[in-house]
Amino acid sequence: MSLIVLGSVAFDAIETPFGKTDKIVGGAAPYASLSASYIYPHVKIVGVVGNDFGEDNLKILSDHSIDIEGIQVKKDEKTFFWSGKYHNDMNSRDSLITDLNVLADFDPIIPSSYQDCEYILLGNLAPQVQLTALQRLEKRPKLIAMDTMNFWIESAMDDLKETLQHIDVLIINDEEARQLSGEYALVTAAETIMAMGPRYLIIKKGEHGALLFGDKQVFSAPALPLATVFDPTGAGDTFAGGFVGYLAQYGQVNFQTMKTAVIYGSAMASFCVEQFGTERLQGLTKKEIGDRLRQFSQLSSFVL
Amino acid sequence: MSLIVLGSVAFDAIETPFGKTDKIVGGAAPYASLSASYIYPHVKIVGVVGNDFGEDNLKILSDHSIDIEGIQVKKDEKTFFWSGKYHNDMNSRDSLITDLNVLADFDPIIPSSYQDCEYILLGNLAPQVQLTALQRLEKRPKLIAMDTMNFWIESAMDDLKETLQHIDVLIINDEEARQLSGEYALVTAAETIMAMGPRYLIIKKGEHGALLFGDKQVFSAPALPLATVFDPTGAGDTFAGGFVGYLAQYGQVNFQTMKTAVIYGSAMASFCVEQFGTERLQGLTKKEIGDRLRQFSQLSSFVL
């Protein structure tokens, strides 16, 4: 039994109103797998890096018992590099540099030791790469969750529609939901998107929380009201990792467990934004996570 | 014991993408008092209309056991008139006509039979008028809730700051909270605003629900995800009416009861937007309200 996290492994250089970083570990796979690793012990990454990534950075992952056998190291190439600058409101950012490097022709090879996987998170990548990874699994996992972004909606809609037919849960933000569906109201957008394949849909709304749709039900998860968002990079991937991590740990997939999984994802994401990059996700304690989950409970519980 | 609702009583002419109305009953007081009347039986309006308002329209209120003794009828003047057109996204609107008429020199006279009031909602009006109404109460009510808007923040900040020192709960939307506090993050805005006087603050976020701050706690209430908002006019007043109506009915004011009160307000507001004006608020049943409240419960409950 295991959870595969497929996704980019990157170097990021981030600038926010609070400061800036040199190249630090980023990418969907590190954020999502670190997040999941606090909830479920058998997380395995599929990804690719260049020869510049270094043992130290891989050790950040393996120190959290994350299986890195599926991270290909390309000897003569460089790791995917992204550099971005957040505006003062922290809700928008400019991408300054996007060097695909090893990601340009990424072929997602699944190690045979990963074939026991029951849960998989397809992090944001070309939908064709996501589908290829799926097709290389000998047994269909119990749950296939997927992220995507506006870039693929604009440039690879046919591939995206094909991939959507094979997954269980799509996790996107509100703007992407509107773009993918052509509908403004999120309820209508959700219906349209679920008709494309996924049985469940999570729409992330940043500081406004997240909506979970499926089984003719809706769940509205709050976001923790924060005075300061230090660095929002990776919050969405951290959410997705916490979400699938909880489902893998709990072992049952239904609307009730998914509601709780959304809260786990939200709690993990609320840590992520407290420091630069994956920093906050590297040294969390069980107590911190438990306290944060209870905070979410207090935040949204009421008695009729 | 009673709940006073102070506020405008108006004629509105509304245009939305779904249609348009002639002059229909509007204003903060009708929306809020109709909403409260479903939850608490002793609601009393303080307001003013012109000779054009008509018995039929007053009857809409008295039919819901709302006391209208405090509605002054100005024989030779006209009722406040507002006309507006909503844009396609329903999140923004243009005011086409605003004829203050009787509202221009409104003097809030409190009938002596209203002096038993324990709860008061100061609907959106000049802060000086809101304060005058308060000063005319012989005994300080148990709870004073208040609404205001950007117009007063821009044009009457000194009066507003004075009035804020006398109230318990301020109910405003996110943009108003940012404008009033000069802070972008809502958590910080809330701290700044509560330092101005109110012990509790509710920030309404439209389709994203509402936040309640106070007693060093935060509560995040969801909004019902809707495919169609038919007419958002009065939703905020309906929310405020449901909120104070619940507190008046329950008879205890603390963070726990306020959380539930926010859900009652949200449920009532979710009805309001289903039809034009106060239409939907005129014929609700206890069962419809109970079902809607349970929907809010399902929408946001989870098990850790």
- The full DSSP string for B111-160 is -GGGTTEEEEEE-SS-HHHHHHHHHT-SS--SEEEEE--HHHHHH-HHHH
The answer to whether A298 contacts B217, with C-beta atoms less than 8 Å apart, is yes
The answer to whether B208 contacts A211, with C-beta atoms less than 8 Å apart, is no
The residue with tokens 């009416």 is B241
With contacts defined as CB-CB under 8 Å, which chain A residues touch B181?
A: none
CA distances to B159, B161, B168 from B196, rounded to whole Å, are: 12, 7, 11
What pLDDT shows up at residue B89?
A: 75
CA distances to A270, B1, B224, B243, B262 from B268, rounded to whole Å, are: 31, 23, 11, 9, 10
- Tell me the C-alpha distance between A264 and A244, whole Å: 9
Mean pLDDT of A200-222: 97
- Beta strands B200-204; B169-173: pairing state: parallel
What pLDDT shows up at residue B228?
A: 87
CB of A295 less than 8 A from some CB of B: no
Nearest CA in chain B to A223: B220
**Pairs of CB atoms within 8 A across A/B:** 93
- Tell me the C-alpha distance between A60 and A42, whole Å: 16
- Tell me the C-alpha distance between B303 and A164, whole Å: 29
What pLDDT shows up at residue B91?
A: 75
CA of A168, closest CA in chain B: separation in Å? 21
- Tell me the C-alpha distance between B133 and B147, whole Å: 14
Tokens standing for residue B273: 């937007």
What pLDDT shows up at residue A90?
A: 76
CB of B104 less than 8 A from some CB of A: no
Interface residue of B203, B215, B216, B220 to substitute, partner A, most A CBs within 10 Å: B220
Nearest CA in chain B to A299: B219
- Tell me the C-alpha distance between A57 and A4, whole Å: 19
What pLDDT shows up at residue A88?
A: 80
Q: Which of B186, B220, B302 sits opposite A260 (nearest CB)?
A: B302
Contacts of B10 (CB under 8 A, 6+ apart): B25, B26, B27, B30, B79, B80, B81, B82, B103
Q: Which of A217, A225, A293 sits opposite B304 (nearest CB)?
A: A293
CA of A267, closest CA in chain B: separation in Å? 12
- Tell me the C-alpha distance between B31 and B236, whole Å: 9
In which element (H, E) is residue B263 found? helix B255-272
Nearest CA in chain A to B221: A300
Is residue A91's pLDDT more than 90?
A: no
- At A130-153, the pLDDT tens digits run 999 999 999 999 999 999 999 999
Within 234-263 of A, beta carbons closer than 8 Å to B belong to 256, 259-260, 262-263
The answer to whether B303 contacts A256, with C-beta atoms less than 8 Å apart, is yes
Is residue A92's pLDDT more than 90?
A: no
Within 274-293 of B, beta carbons closer than 8 Å to A belong to 293
With contacts defined as CB-CB under 8 Å, which chain B residues touch A293?
A: 304
Is residue A160's pLDDT more than 80?
A: yes
Tokens standing for residue A10: 């990157």
With contacts defined as CB-CB under 8 Å, which chain B residues touch A211?
A: 225
Average model confidence (pLDDT) across chain A: 97
Q: What is the ipTM of this complex?
A: 0.92
CB of A84 less than 8 A from some CB of B: no
Interface residue of A300, A301, A303 to substitute, partner B, most B CBs within 10 Å: A300
Q: Tell me which residue of A26, A36, A48 sits closest to A5, measured CA to CA.
A: A36
CA of A189, closest CA in chain B: separation in Å? 9
With contacts defined as CB-CB under 8 Å, which chain A residues touch B211?
A: 225
Q: Tell me which residue of B170, B87, B86 sits closest to B122, measured CA to CA.
A: B170
The answer to whether A260 contacts B304, with C-beta atoms less than 8 Å apart, is yes
Tokens standing for residue A20: 């800036």
What pLDDT shows up at residue B165?
A: 98
The answer to whether A299 contacts B220, with C-beta atoms less than 8 Å apart, is yes
The answer to whether A220 contacts B209, with C-beta atoms less than 8 Å apart, is yes
- Exposure letters B129-145 (e unless 16+ CB within 10 A, then b): bbbbbbeeeeeebbbbb
CB of A209 less than 8 A from some CB of B: yes
CA distances to A99, A117, A147, B138 from A82, rounded to whole Å, are: 6, 30, 18, 66
Q: Which of B185, B228, B256 sits opposite A185 (nearest CB)?
A: B228
Q: Which of B187, B219, B221 sits opposite A226 (nearest CB)?
A: B187
The answer to whether B299 contacts A184, with C-beta atoms less than 8 Å apart, is no
With contacts defined as CB-CB under 8 Å, which chain B residues touch A294?
A: 304
Collapse the DSSP code of A256 into the 3-class scheme (helix H, G, I; strand E, B; otherwise coil) and give the result.
helix
With contacts defined as CB-CB under 8 Å, which chain A residues touch B223?
A: 220
**Residues making up chain A, counted from first to last:** 304
Mean pLDDT of A273-281: 97
Residue A31: what are its φ and ψ, rounded to 5°?
A: -60, -50
Nearest CA in chain B to A291: B304
Considering Cα of A210, then A212, then A213, then A218, what sign does the dihedral take? negative
Nearest CA in chain B to A183: B227
Nearest CA in chain A to B228: A185
pLDDT (tens digit, 0 to 9) for every residue of chain B, 304 residues total?
999 999 999 999 999 988 999 999 999 999 999 999 999 999 999 999 999 999 999 999 999 999 999 999 999 999 999 999 998 877 789 999 999 999 999 999 999 999 999 999 999 999 999 999 999 999 999 999 999 999 999 999 999 999 999 999 999 999 999 999 999 999 999 999 999 999 999 999 999 999 999 999 999 999 999 988 899 999 999 999 999 999 999 999 999 999 999 999 999 999 999 999 999 999 999 999 999 999 999 999 999 9
Cβ atoms of residues B103 and B80 within 8 Å: yes
